[in-house]
Amino acid sequence: MRSEPRVTVWNEYRHEHANPAVAAIYPRGIHEALAAPLRAVGLDVATATLDEPEHGLSTSRLAKTDVLVWWGHKAHGEVADEIVERVHARVLEGMGLVALHSAHFSKIFKKLMGTGCDLKWREAGERERLWVVDPTHPIVAGCPEVITLPQEEMYGEHFDIPPPDELFLLSWFQGGEVFRSGCTWRRGQGRIAYLRPGHETYPTYHDAEIQMLILNAVRWAAPVGAATPVRGNRAPLEPLGG
Amino acid sequence: MRSEPRVTVWNEYRHEHANPAVAAIYPRGIHEALAAPLRAVGLDVATATLDEPEHGLSTSRLAKTDVLVWWGHKAHGEVADEIVERVHARVLEGMGLVALHSAHFSKIFKKLMGTGCDLKWREAGERERLWVVDPTHPIVAGCPEVITLPQEEMYGEHFDIPPPDELFLLSWFQGGEVFRSGCTWRRGQGRIAYLRPGHETYPTYHDAEIQMLILNAVRWAAPVGAATPVRGNRAPLEPLGG
Amino acid sequence: MRSEPRVTVWNEYRHEHANPAVAAIYPRGIHEALAAPLRAVGLDVATATLDEPEHGLSTSRLAKTDVLVWWGHKAHGEVADEIVERVHARVLEGMGLVALHSAHFSKIFKKLMGTGCDLKWREAGERERLWVVDPTHPIVAGCPEVITLPQEEMYGEHFDIPPPDELFLLSWFQGGEVFRSGCTWRRGQGRIAYLRPGHETYPTYHDAEIQMLILNAVRWAAPVGAATPVRGNRAPLEPLGG
Amino acid sequence: MRSEPRVTVWNEYRHEHANPAVAAIYPRGIHEALAAPLRAVGLDVATATLDEPEHGLSTSRLAKTDVLVWWGHKAHGEVADEIVERVHARVLEGMGLVALHSAHFSKIFKKLMGTGCDLKWREAGERERLWVVDPTHPIVAGCPEVITLPQEEMYGEHFDIPPPDELFLLSWFQGGEVFRSGCTWRRGQGRIAYLRPGHETYPTYHDAEIQMLILNAVRWAAPVGAATPVRGNRAPLEPLGG
């Protein structure tokens, strides 16, 4: 069986300083709230934030990261293109990426998707119901068939993503919208999962079921250990004949 | 992390009695050749064969099976419909199925696919090259980017299967054909993998790389532990209003 | 450009006789309500119903059918297995199938899917919103991004189908559920579409947007004219060498 | 039925000037060889080449283009980023893209895929066999189950693309490799097809079956006419209650 992945949780870490309501919910930052339940089951988890040098994503940090968890919202544009290229290259090499909530609009997610990644949204504290639509998917292990969040930001379709390779959660919102909330894609040797919930003004990341989804997604996104493909000019394996 | 799945290896077990060349390659039967490398890494593996009562697939045996491995060829028609229904129901409940080689034409595989599952074939002992086309897939963990089998039966497209949910191996054959040789599908709560190699007159199941693919497929196909969906007439979760 | 497909609309045609409320909505039967808008744009449309000989699905009728539209509900069990086999074979040969609403539980749909095809349901006349989640799909041509039906039967997840090859509509229901309402699959040479709306006690098939979806689905499901694959024992195309 | 798409064929148009062998095969340029069979069936086809102002891809030209066909090879790096952004935006708006052969490494294809798009290759004039693996796909309409090209450049797996939404052609090469040669993806409202054959030193685009594939791909990639999704901050459609 595979050993546990080494994780880096990246957080923009701006709302927590700017908005006391967010700081009240996540006093040590969203990154620490995300890291704690992963550490509780024994995973090796580092954190990194936007205002650290290289946004905390040095080459050596990424080299030691099997799965990168990403939360960003209001400062996507401040992430340096050079770092985005570095993370992109690591995903293609096999590092997993778990993009959370507003990370749908991060540079790295958009670059991996090839689309605009826009959507409908509304901040009205309405009820969200996340329905499992693929009960064979490892990311919903241990979850009930519907997860109810009493208050969340609404995200609505059309979500401008490529058709997911796997779709395992669909959200229902009180105001009339639906959303593809649990999705996966593959890029190069890397495995990518998107999980919708987690607006900064709600205590979503303290919810045990959401924490389980994230833990499952981290394990799902870990490198599988396949051979790195060789590319370029190659001699024939078989005689070509006359 | 998940514990290891309990496995039952099913084999038709007729060629080994009828054909000395097959018996020479698989003296204890194909099922024992398949079971041995799984047991070697600690899995709990039972075997079952066509000529046992209920083909060895009693209700209690299936209840204790997390993943069923299936090899059959010349006697697909002798598998009782009642047993096929029982296995089908267990797959929909979550039991994994790993269908090998000529199991493409078994009743259970055809019933799960909904198609004819026919293909081109040729017994000429020609070379097969299995190329990894999805280096993110857990079933190719630890494998090289191409596996070469010096002699195998050819299977050629069009293989009459539903488009696979995941396609991770493509075969090249010396005589000019290609084949989708590593595929997965999901049915109900069950995970299904198909692996092409394994004609009875070649020692394919003694090949360490093929054994690794089968071990990986067994682990991949294990039940994930998602909630069993509730179906039928349901009351509203939200007030319907006036 | 392809010419228009020849269509047969199959209807169980029992509710219309048994329930005056249904007869009031569909006085000439659901099949005629489905056929009329297809004929209005020039398609050649026949109808067939359960109580006709061979359920109206003779070999010659099917041979002249490019796309079969199917509506059934309370008498799925009365459809003869022999006819189901005949329709199944024609789909694998290339006849398109458009399964509507409660056809999810028809023998032919279940046989093509390989799963149980069960779901949650509720008859409460609640509001349904169908959101387009794939704006590249031909079946949503000419449709708005959301179609609202004031009263429909609820269908809720988990819908026990194989992951669709294409998913283009998701439903939101007032009572809190979601549903994959517009899906396609491929089986053999046949193209299959499922469209959820259309409970017999609501005038859904008189809705112009739903009629457009059905017309689009019929055109989408038409045979494409690819070569019929050859299968079985085949000689090599290339010399196998020594 | 849909009317025919307006097409622009883009060609790098450098090999034809630099290499007499290429000029002998394509005396008027690869773009004219691609355009001719499309025009022969009545399509409105413009051409554009790298060395024209804005590479021939002005805003007004793209606004009049329903499907863009792309051939490039040795000068991918000379395509201006600004033009790549413009084409990308038009694809997300609904313009189809048919990428041919070495266009796998073009900036626009890589940007839409989100991956490296690299592969194995060999110029040895070896035989290629393209097998249809999806006989339900419109792009293979009218084609035989296998297309044989006597001499082509080899492209081999692993091809670093996202798993295709649809895979309809697999190539076999004499030297031992396989390749996913006919693929589609969806990005935004745009439909994208990739067709492998077409090395500049072989007369592949004079082959009637390859011309048919390209015509089919152009028709397949045409905009479907779905509603343009609205995104951003949205008011609820349903009352949110208390």
Q: pLDDT for C185-216, tens place per residue?
A: 999 999 999 999 999 999 999 999 999 999 99
β-pairing verdict for C232-233 and D44-49: unpaired
Whole-angstrom Cα distance, residue B166 to residue B182? 8
Q: Which two structure tokens, joined as six digits, stand for A78?
A: 């401040």
Give me the pLDDT at residue D241, please.
76
Using the beta-carbon criterion (under 8 Å), do C172 and A178 form an inter-chain contact?
yes
Residue A1 has pLDDT above 60, yes or no: no
Q: Is residue D152 part of a domain?
A: no
Which pLDDT band holds residue A241 (cuts at 50, 70, 90)?
confident
Residue B42 has pLDDT above 90, yes or no: yes
Q: What DSSP designation does B159 have? A: P
C129: contact with B, CB 8 A cutoff: no
SS (HEC) of chain C: CCCCCEEEEEECCCHHHHCHHHHHHCCCCHHHHHHHHHHHCCCEEEEEECCCHHHHCCHHHHHCCCEEEEECCCCHHHCCHHHHHHHHHHHHHCCEEEEEHHHHHCHHHHHHHCCCCCCEEEEEEEEEEEEECCCCCHHHCCCCCEEEEEEEEEEECCCCCCCCCEEEEEEEECCCCEEEEEEEEEECCEEEEEECCCCCCCCHHHCHHHHHHHHHHHHHHCCCCCCCCCCEECCCCCCCCC
Average pLDDT score over residue span A54-78:
98
Q: Is residue D161 part of a domain?
A: no
Q: Which two structure tokens, joined as six digits, stand for D213?
A: 């594939």
Give me the pLDDT at residue B242, please.
56
| Domain ranges, residue A73 | 6-115+181-221
Using the beta-carbon criterion (under 8 Å), do B227 and A135 form an inter-chain contact?
yes
Whole-angstrom Cα distance, residue C175 to residue B234? 10
Whole-angstrom Cα distance, residue A162 to residue A116? 10
A224: contact with B, CB 8 A cutoff: yes
Residue B1 has pLDDT above 80, yes or no: no
pLDDT, greater one: C1 or C85: C85
Strands of chain A (E only): list them: 6-11, 44-49, 67-71, 96-100, 120-132, 146-156, 166-173, 178-187, 190-195, 232-233
Give me the pLDDT at residue B210, please.
98
Whole-angstrom Cα distance, residue A192 to residue B121? 37
Question: What are the chain B neighbours of A234 within 8 Å (beta carbons)?
Answer: none
At residue C163's C-alpha, the angle toward residues C160 and C167, to 5°, is 110
Among candidates D114, D118, D241 on the partner chain, residue whose Cβ is nearest the Cβ of A111: D114
Using the beta-carbon criterion (under 8 Å), do A227 and B143 form an inter-chain contact?
yes
Residue A192 backbone phi and psi in degrees, to 5: -125, 130
Say what the pTM is.
0.98
Residue D172 backbone phi and psi in degrees, to 5: -110, 135
Residue C1 has pLDDT above 70, yes or no: no
Q: Is residue C133 part of a domain?
A: no
Between B30-40 and B208-221, two packed helices, what is the crossing angle to 10 degrees? 80
Residue D52 backbone phi and psi in degrees, to 5: -75, 160
Residue C223 has pLDDT above 90, yes or no: yes
CATH number at residue D86: 3.40.50.880
Instruction: Tell me what percent of the residues of chain D surpass a pLDDT of 90.
Output: 98
D119: contact with A, CB 8 A cutoff: yes
Using the beta-carbon criterion (under 8 Å), do B234 and C113 form an inter-chain contact?
no
How many domains is chain C built from? Answer: 1
> Taking all residues of chain C, what is their mean pLDDT, rounded to a whole number?
97
Residue B190 has pLDDT above 80, yes or no: yes
Whole-angstrom Cα distance, residue D73 to residue A69? 37
Find the DSSP H helices in A42-169.
59-63, 81-93, 107-113
Cross-strand bridge partners of residue B186: B191
Q: CA of A123, closest CA in chain C: separation in Å?
A: 19
Residue C33 backbone phi and psi in degrees, to 5: -65, -35
Q: Which residue of A has its CA nearest to D189?
A: A160
Residue C242 has pLDDT above 60, yes or no: no
Whose tokens are 């046949």? That residue is C190
Whole-angstrom Cα distance, residue C82 to residue C64? 19
Residue A120 has pLDDT above 90, yes or no: yes
Which pLDDT band holds residue C3 (cuts at 50, 70, 90)?
confident
- Buried (b) or exposed (e) across B94-112, using 16+ Cβ within 10 A? bbbbbbbbbbbbbbbbbbb
Q: Which two structure tokens, joined as six digits, stand for B166?
A: 């995941």
**What is the tens place of the pLDDT at every residue in A72-115?**
999 999 999 999 999 999 999 999 999 999 999 999 999 999 99
Q: Which residue of B has its CA nearest to D119?
A: B133
Q: Is residue A23 part of a domain?
A: yes
β-pairing verdict for C146-156 and C120-132: antiparallel
Closest alpha carbon to C210 in C30, C56, C1: C30
* Cβ–Cβ pairs < 8 A, chains A and D: 118
A157: contact with D, CB 8 A cutoff: yes
Which pLDDT band holds residue B2 (cuts at 50, 70, 90)?
low
Whole-angstrom Cα distance, residue A61 to residue A45? 11
Are B159 and B180 spatial neighbours (Cβ–Cβ below 8 Å)? yes
Give me the pLDDT at residue A213, please.
98
D160: contact with A, CB 8 A cutoff: yes
Give me the pLDDT at residue D2, please.
64
Among candidates D135, D190, D224 on the partner chain, residue whose Cβ is nearest the Cβ of C137: D224
Q: Is residue B94 part of a domain?
A: yes
> Taking all residues of chain D, what is their mean pLDDT, rounded to a whole number?
97
Average pLDDT score over residue span D132-137:
98
Q: Is residue D53 part of a domain?
A: yes
CA quadruple A147, A149, A155, A161: dihedral positive or negative? negative
Task: With H, G, I as helix, E, B as strand and everything else as coil, classify residue A22.
Answer: helix
Which pLDDT band holds residue C90 (cuts at 50, 70, 90)?
very high
Using the beta-carbon criterion (under 8 Å), do B226 and A189 form an inter-chain contact?
no
Whole-angstrom Cα distance, residue A122 to residue D233? 6
Give me the pLDDT at residue A3, please.
87
Q: Is residue B164 part of a domain?
A: no
In degrees to the nearest 10, what's the CA dihedral of B191, A183, A109, D170? 50
Q: What DSSP designation does D150 have? A: E
Q: Name the C residues in 37-66 with CB < 8 Å from any B CB.
A: none
Which pLDDT band holds residue D217 (cuts at 50, 70, 90)?
very high
Strands of B12-95 (E only): list them: 44-49, 67-71
Among candidates A134, A141, A227 on the partner chain, residue whose Cβ is nearest the Cβ of B145: A227
Please state, in angstroms and as integers, the Cα–Cα distance from residue B148 to each residue in B26, B142, D174, following that order: 21, 15, 15
Closest alpha carbon to B133 in D180, A93, D112: D180
Residue A127 backbone phi and psi in degrees, to 5: -75, 140
**What is the tens place of the pLDDT at every residue in D180-196?**
999 999 999 999 999 99
Among candidates A114, A163, A234 on the partner chain, residue whose Cβ is nearest the Cβ of D156: A234
Q: Is residue B217 part of a domain?
A: yes
